Structure 1
């Protein structure tokens, strides 16, 4: 069974700029730049029939390309930080695209996503990073001023079970038009 998710790819030139955040935080396992993406909907481990239905339904999405803008670094996990991220501005176009993916995946028979959509790019998984070290790290880094790109497509990626951060395999790409 493939483990699937939908996403917007981060272009290489933008990924290289974001990679400037790498380093300086003990306990961080940095994600390879070529695996930077914005997850829209995690499908999980699905059978082949569900994967095909999801791919078919996603092919019906008709949305215009839009700007993706980065807001700055942050962390997920509160008192026990688990991921270092760069936040993405939750524009109406991005929120609507994600909501459509959610509706379509429910139609394909998947359970509703339990987590609130928070658009971001994961830069590192954190293991044993103290909250103080993460706060200090974030305090020393500003946001990526004016960093944005035009999303021209969304994709379906597959990943290996229990290996966070890639490598991801591009299974399908859908143009925004």
Structure 2
């Protein structure tokens, strides 16, 4: 049996509620529920039980300090054929170091290397037939948005429960302290 896993920084409930207020004005947006807000550090994909044990041990060995980060302006993936609306994340070098540490942990646990460039973001919505001009309006509305400093005190390993035609459920299965 395999599990679909990823490592991420959870988003505090107050910050998630603040972001939820932005959920409007984008036709074709399937807005993510508050409980799914997170900043993915590394998507691991389907992992078997043995790999999970190895991965958990490797993630537990990560020793990095706590750090501040901030959510900012929106953008989207897919240029002229938009598919994902997201908020930027500025965590500087500490966030990049945590991503790299999760990548090394995955490799030591025997998982394949991640080939995509790490782009820190928080997914707000998945898009379907969304006009680019409406996305530009949304981005313009968020130009001055800043969450204020947030503290990364730990990161989590999540299990994704896919549900056909519905929003996936993300279940934290382990937490790893920073600092």
* TM-score, with length taken from structure 2: 0.93
Is contact 1:31-1:123 (8 Å) kept? yes
- Residue 102 of structure 2 aligns to a residue whose secondary structure is helix
Q: Which residue of structure 1 lines up, in the alignment, with residue 38 of structure 2?
A: 37
Question: Displacement, 1:162?
Answer: 6.4
Sort the Cα spacing of 1:7 and 1:165 in 2 relative to 1 into closer, same or farther, 3 A: farther
Structure 2 residues not aligned, in runs of 5+: none
Where does 1:88-103 land on structure 2 (aligned, <5 Å)?
88-103=89-104
Runs of 4+ that moved beyond 4 A: 162-165
Sort the Cα spacing of 1:68 and 1:155 in 2 relative to 1 into closer, same or farther, 3 A: same
Equivalent-residue separation in structure 1 for 2:16 and 2:144 (angstroms): 14
Tell me whether 39-48 or 65-74 shows the greater mean CA deviation. 65-74
Tell me whether 142-151 or 161-170 shows the greater mean CA deviation. 161-170
Tell me whether 44-53 or 157-166 shows the greater mean CA deviation. 157-166
Tell me whether 87-96 or 142-151 shows the greater mean CA deviation. 142-151
- For this pair of structures, how many residues does the alignment match? 177
Sort the Cα spacing of 1:92 and 1:165 in 2 relative to 1 into closer, same or farther, 3 A: farther
Question: Displacement, 1:82?
Answer: 0.7
Equivalent-residue separation in structure 1 for 2:163 and 2:79 (angstroms): 22
Q: Which residue of structure 1 lines up, in the alignment, with residue 65 of structure 2?
A: 64
Equivalent-residue separation in structure 1 for 2:114 and 2:163 (angstroms): 19
Equivalent-residue separation in structure 2 for 1:45 and 1:155 (angstroms): 17
Tell me whether 99-108 or 155-164 shows the greater mean CA deviation. 155-164
Where does 1:121-140 land on structure 2 (aligned, <5 Å)?
121-140=122-141
Is contact 1:73-1:143 (8 Å) kept? no
Structure 1 residues not aligned, in runs of 5+: none
* TM-score, with length taken from structure 1: 0.94
Q: Which residue of structure 2 lines up, in the alignment, with residue 54 of structure 1?
A: 55
Question: Displacement, 1:87?
Answer: 0.4
Equivalent-residue separation in structure 2 for 1:153 and 1:104 (angstroms): 16
Sort the Cα spacing of 1:165 and 1:87 in 2 relative to 1 into closer, same or farther, 3 A: farther
166, 171, 174: which one aligns with 1:172: 174
Question: Displacement, 1:130?
Answer: 1.9
